[in-house]
A and B are shown apart, each in its own frame.
Chain A
C-alpha cells in the first residue's frame, strides 16, 4: 500500500475486503500497466479520497464497515476520484441501476471474467484521461465517424447504417483499440442492465461489422476471444 499522503496521479484505488477478489482486481489493473492502492474499508477509502487524486476507484459493494453505495455521493463531492467502478455480488438489474443512479460510472457483477474487468477498467481510464472536448470527427485511416451529423464515411463515400448501428459504431470508435464486452455494449448503447439469454449483441455487432467490411473492403470490428469485440483499422479481413 502506498502512503495516502503522497497520492499518485495514475494510481487506481482498489477497495475490496475479500483477499482473493482483491488479488484479481489488483492484477487486472497491473496487467493494464496501472499502479494500484489497496484498501479494505469505506473509512479508508474516504480518507484516501480526501488526501489524494485518483483517476479511478474500484469499489466492492459489501465492505466490512458498510455498503459502499452510501460512499458514492461523498466520493463524488470530494472531486478527487474521477471514475468509479462498482464491483458487487449484488447484481440484479435493480442493484445495478441503484448503483449507477447513486453515482457509480459502471457496475460490474461478480463473478466476471478477467477480460470483462479489464475492458471496464480500460474504458473508464480512457474516459478519465481523455481530453474534455469531444471531437466532431473521429477518423481512423479513411473511416470518418461524423458525430454531429451522425453519419459514417469511408474515403468520402457515405456508408448507410441505421441510427442504432451508428450509436454502436460511435461507442466502438470512442473506445478504439479497447476490447468491449457484450454487457458493456448492451449497457452503453441500449441502456439495458440485464443479461439476455440470447446473444443479441453478437447479431448487431455482426451486422455492423459486415456493413463496414463490404463498404470498405477491410475489417474494423474484431472479436477478442473471451472478452468481446474491439474496434480499429486492420489490413486484412480476419477469419471468423
Chain B
C-alpha cells in the first residue's frame, strides 16, 4: 500500500467519522423524542383511566380496560386492574406480572422479554392499576434508522476507498514514471534524460517534471562546459609540448640531455592525462552504457605477466592468486590501468626482498581485487589522504611519480561502482577494490 493511497484513504475516512458522530447524536435526539411521545401516551391513558374511575367507578373502568385489552393495540400496550386481594379484574394479564414493580412506579421494565414504559398505581379503594406502553416501535424505528445509516456508511466507505484508490493510482503511476526516468540519470541515458510529461498541465507532477528537467539541463550544461574545458586544456597544452618536442630534434643536444628532456615531457603528459582522466571518469561515474562484461582475473593475469619480470629484476616477488570467472561490468583498459597503478605503487614503495601479492577472488556477489605487499606500509597520518590528488609518501621525494596514482585508482574504481579500501594489515600495505559480480550468462 503506497503512502499516497494511505493519505487519500485517510482523507476519505475523515468525513465518514463525522457522519458516524452525527448519526449517534441524531439517534440520541430521536430516541428522546420517541420516549417523550411514549411518556405522553402513557400519561394520557393513565389520566383517562383515573378520570373514568373518579366519575364512574370500577365497573366502567373495568369495562374500558376490558375493551382495550380485547381490541388489542397494534403498538402492544398492556393493562391490568386488580382488586384488593390482587385478583385480576380486567386486562392483558391473568395476574400481576412478576417483573412488574409494585405500585407506585413509573419507568421502564421488561415484561416477558419485551420492553415497556410502565405506570403502576393504587386507586382509591385499594385497586391496583398497571398501564404499559410498548417500547418496541421506538426500538424498531431506531434500528431501522441505524440500518439505513449503516447502509449509507458502507457506501461512503466503499466510495471513499475507491476514490482514494483512483487518486493514488494516478499519482503513484506518475511518481513511478518520474522515478524510473530519474533512475536512468547518470545511467545508460547519461544526463540527457527528460522526465515524462503525462501529468495534467499545472499539476504538481507537471511542475516537478519541469523543474527536474531544468535542473538536468543545467547539470548537463555544466558537465559539457567542464568536458570542453578539459579537452581544450589537453589540446592547448599538448600542441605546444608537441612543438617543443619536435624542436628538440633540431637542437644540438647530447643523447643524455635529450633523453632527460623527453622523459620530463613524458611525465608532464602523464600528469595531464591522469588529471583529465580523473575528471572524465568522475563525469562518467555511474554510466554503465560504455561498460561490457570482462573477467577481472584475465586482466590481472595479463598485468601479472607484464610486471612479473619487472618485479623480479627489482628484487621483489610478484605472486598471483587469481580465481577464474571473476566477471564484472567494466572497461578492460581502465581496469588494466588501475591494476598497473596499484602494482607500480607497490613496486615503488617496497624494498628488495619484499613480496607483492595480486589476487582476484569472488566473494558472495562481489569480485574483489587485492594488491598487498610486505613493504614498510603507509604512514598512519598519510593513510587518510592517500586518495587525495598530489598526496605522496613522505621521504619518497626521490621516488618518481606525481601523486595522482591512487586518485586515478579511486576514479577508475568509482567509474565501476566500486570504492578502493585500505586494509588493516600487520605488515606492509594492502588495498582492496570490490565490484559487483555478474553471473556468466
**What residues of chain A have their CB less than 8 Å away from a CB belonging to chain B?**
18, 20-21, 24, 62, 89-94, 96-97, 109-114, 164, 190-198, 200, 203-204, 207, 225-226
A41 to B201 CA separation, bound complex (whole angstroms)? 48
A164 touches B344 (CB 8 A): no
Chain B residues within an 8 Å CB radius of A90? 231, 234-235
Considering the complex, which residues of chain B in the window 257-290 have a beta carbon less than 8 Å from any beta carbon of chain A? 258-259, 262, 265-266, 269-270, 273, 276-277, 280
B92 to chain A, nearest CB (A): 106
What residue of chain B has the Cβ atom nearest to residue A97's Cβ? B333
A200 in contact with B307 given A94-B277, A111-B242, A111-B245 (CB within 8 Å): yes
B337 touches A93 (CB 8 A): yes
Chain A residues within an 8 Å CB radius of B245? 111-113
A94 to B408 CA separation, bound complex (whole angstroms)? 13
B235 touches A192 (CB 8 A): no
Q: Does B364 contact A (CB under 8 A)?
A: no
A21 in contact with B242 given A90-B235, A92-B276, A198-B310 (CB within 8 Å): yes
- If A109-B269, A198-B347 are given as contacts, then 8 extra A-B residue pairs at C-beta distance below 8 Å, sorted by A number, are A89-B235, A94-B280, A97-B331, A110-B241, A111-B245, A190-B302, A192-B340, A200-B306
B344 touches A190 (CB 8 A): no
Chain A residues within an 8 Å CB radius of B244? 111
Chain B residues within an 8 Å CB radius of A93? 277, 333-334, 337
Would you call the interface of chain A mostly helix, strand, loop, or mixed?
loop
A92 to B334 CA separation, bound complex (whole angstroms)? 10
A92 to B307 CA separation, bound complex (whole angstroms)? 21
B258 touches A226 (CB 8 A): yes
Q: What are 16 sample pairs from A and B whose C-beta atoms fall under 8 A apart?
A: A62-B235, A89-B237, A91-B234, A92-B276, A93-B334, A93-B337, A94-B280, A110-B239, A112-B242, A190-B302, A194-B340, A195-B269, A195-B270, A195-B273, A198-B310, A204-B309
6 A-B pairs with the lowest CB-CB distances in the bound complex, closest first? A111-B242, A89-B238, A89-B235, A111-B241, A92-B277, A110-B238
A109 to B333 CA separation, bound complex (whole angstroms)? 16
Chain B residues within an 8 Å CB radius of A204? 306, 309
B103 to chain A, nearest CB (A): 109
Would you call the interface of chain B mostly helix, strand, loop, or mixed?
helix
Chain B residues within an 8 Å CB radius of A94? 277, 280, 331, 333-334
A132 to B235 CA separation, bound complex (whole angstroms)? 37
Q: Does B394 contact A (CB under 8 A)?
A: no
> Which of B231, B244, B333, B400 has the most chain A CB atoms closer than 10 A to its own CB?
B333
Q: Does B249 contact A (CB under 8 A)?
A: yes
**What residues of chain B have their CB less than 8 Å away from a CB belonging to chain A?**
231, 234-235, 237-239, 241-246, 249, 255, 258-259, 262, 265-266, 269-270, 273, 276-277, 280, 302, 305-307, 309-310, 313, 331, 333-334, 336-337, 340, 344, 347, 400-401, 405
What residue of chain A has the Cβ atom nearest to residue B275's Cβ? A92
Chain B residues within an 8 Å CB radius of A191? 302
Chain A residues within an 8 Å CB radius of B239? 18, 21, 89, 110-111
Chain B residues within an 8 Å CB radius of A194? 273, 333, 336-337, 340
Chain B residues within an 8 Å CB radius of A97? 331, 333
B270 touches A197 (CB 8 A): yes
B292 to chain A, nearest CB (A): 11
A89 to chain B, nearest CB (A): 4
Among B259, B302, B307, B334, contact of A226 (Cβ-Cβ < 8 Å):
B259
A192 touches B238 (CB 8 A): no
What residue of chain A has the Cβ atom nearest to residue B311's Cβ? A203
B273 touches A197 (CB 8 A): no
Chain A residues within an 8 Å CB radius of B280? 92, 94
A96 to B405 CA separation, bound complex (whole angstroms)? 20
A204 to B306 CA separation, bound complex (whole angstroms)? 8
B306 touches A24 (CB 8 A): no
Chain B residues within an 8 Å CB radius of A24? 242, 246
Chain B residues within an 8 Å CB radius of A203? 309-310, 313
A79 to chain B, nearest CB (A): 29
What residue of chain A has the Cβ atom nearest to residue B290's Cβ? A94
A195 to B347 CA separation, bound complex (whole angstroms)? 16
Chain B residues within an 8 Å CB radius of A109? 238, 269
What residue of chain A has the Cβ atom nearest to residue B231's Cβ? A90
A157 to B373 CA separation, bound complex (whole angstroms)? 41
Chain A residues within an 8 Å CB radius of B243? 20-21, 111
Chain B residues within an 8 Å CB radius of A164? 305
B294 to chain A, nearest CB (A): 12
A111 to B302 CA separation, bound complex (whole angstroms)? 28
Chain A residues within an 8 Å CB radius of B242? 21, 24, 89, 110-112
Chain A residues within an 8 Å CB radius of B259? 226
A90 to B236 CA separation, bound complex (whole angstroms)? 10
> Which of A21, A96, A194 has the most chain B CB atoms closer than 10 A to its own CB?
A194
A163 to chain B, nearest CB (A): 9
A112 to B302 CA separation, bound complex (whole angstroms)? 26
A20 to B246 CA separation, bound complex (whole angstroms)? 10
Among A62, A110, A193, contact of B333 (Cβ-Cβ < 8 Å):
A193
A111 in contact with B309 given A195-B273, A198-B347 (CB within 8 Å): no
What residue of chain A has the Cβ atom nearest to residue B242's Cβ? A111
Chain B residues within an 8 Å CB radius of A112? 242, 245
B310 touches A197 (CB 8 A): no
Among A114, A193, A197, contact of B344 (Cβ-Cβ < 8 Å):
A197
Chain B residues within an 8 Å CB radius of A92? 273, 276-277, 280
Chain A residues within an 8 Å CB radius of B334? 93-94
A93 to B235 CA separation, bound complex (whole angstroms)? 15
Chain B residues within an 8 Å CB radius of A91? 234, 238, 273
A94 to chain B, nearest CB (A): 6
A113 touches B305 (CB 8 A): no
> Which of A20, A112, A197, A204 has the most chain B CB atoms closer than 10 A to its own CB?
A197
